[in-house]
Amino acid sequence: MNKETKSVLPFDVFSQEFKTNPYPVYAHLRDHAPVYRTELPDGQGMWLITRYADVMSVMKDNRFVKDIRNALTKEEFEQIPRKPEVLEQFSQNMLDLDVPDHTRLRTLVHKAFTPRYIDQLHDRIEQIIDELLDTMEGEEEVDLIHSFAYPLPITVIAELLGIPPEDKNQFRAWSDDLVAGSGVLDLDDSQLAISVALAEYFRKLFAIRRNEPQDDLISALVQVEEQGDRLNESELLAMAVLLLIAGHETTVNLLGNGMLTLFQHPEQMEKLKGDLSLIPGAVEEMLRFSSPVEMATPRFTSEAVELNGTIIPRGEMVMLVLASANRDPEQFPNPEIMQIDRQENRHLAFGMGIHFCLGSPLARLEGQMAFTALLKRFPNLQLKVPVEELIWRSNLVLRGLEKLPVVLTDNMYKGL
Ligand code: HEM
Taking Cα atoms as reference points, which of 269, 280, 249, 301 lies closest to residue 367?
280
Q: What is the pLDDT of residue 185?
A: 65
Residue minimizing CA distance to atom 39 of ligand 1: 355
- CB of 298 closer than 6 angstroms to any ligand 1 atom: no
- CB of 254 closer than 6 angstroms to any ligand 1 atom: yes
- CB of 179 closer than 6 angstroms to any ligand 1 atom: no
Mutate to test the pocket of ligand 1, among 350, 365, 399 (most ligand atoms within 8 A of CB): 350
Q: How far is the CA of 297 from the centre of ligand 1 (A)?
A: 10
User: Do residues 236 and 225 touch, judged by C-beta distance below 8 A?
Assistant: yes
Q: 270-309: string of b/e by CB count within 10 Å (b at 16+)?
A: ebbeeeeebbebbbbbbbbbbbbbbbbbbbbbbeebebee
- CB of 320 closer than 6 angstroms to any ligand 1 atom: no
Amino acid occupying residue 292: P
Q: What is the pLDDT of residue 2?
A: 52
Q: What is the pLDDT of residue 272?
A: 98
Phi/psi-derived region of residue 391, left when phi > 0, alpha when psi is between -120 and 50, beta in every other case: beta
Q: Splitting the chain (416 residues) into consecutive groups of 10 residues, what average pLDDT does each group show?
A: 59 91 97 95 91 98 97 94 89 96 96 94 98 94 97 95 89 80 70 91 95 95 88 95 92 98 98 98 98 97 96 98 98 98 97 98 98 96 96 92 91 48
What span, in angstroms and rounded, lies between the C-alpha atoms of 362 and 280?
Answer: 13
What span, in angstroms and rounded, lies between the C-alpha atoms of 380 and 413?
Answer: 14
Q: How many Cα atoms sit within 13 Å of 227 on the Cβ side? A: 9
What span, in angstroms and rounded, lies between the C-alpha atoms of 176 and 318?
Answer: 25
- CB of 245 closer than 6 angstroms to any ligand 1 atom: no
Q: For Cα atoms 215, 216, 222, give the angle at the middle one, nearest 5 degrees.
A: 105
- CB of 293 closer than 6 angstroms to any ligand 1 atom: yes
Q: What is the pLDDT of residue 347?
A: 98
Q: What is the pLDDT of residue 183?
A: 55
Amino acid occupying residue 195: S
Please identify, in words, the CATH class of the domain defined by 82-295+327-407.
mainly alpha
- CB of 49 closer than 6 angstroms to any ligand 1 atom: no
- Number of C-beta neighbours around residue 214 at 10 A: 11
Q: For Cα atoms 394, 28, 341, give the angle at the middle one, nearest 5 degrees.
A: 80
Phi and psi for 398 in degrees, rounded to 5?
-100, 150
- CB of 243 closer than 6 angstroms to any ligand 1 atom: yes
Q: How far is the CA of 95 from the centre of ligand 1 (A)?
A: 9
Q: What is the pLDDT of residue 415?
A: 47
Residue minimizing CA distance to atom 42 of ligand 1: 359
Phi and psi for 274 in degrees, rounded to 5?
-75, -20
Q: What is the pLDDT of residue 31?
A: 97
Mutate to test the pocket of ligand 1, among 65, 94, 152, 250 (most ligand atoms within 8 A of CB): 250
Q: How far is the CA of 248 from the centre of ligand 1 (A)?
A: 10
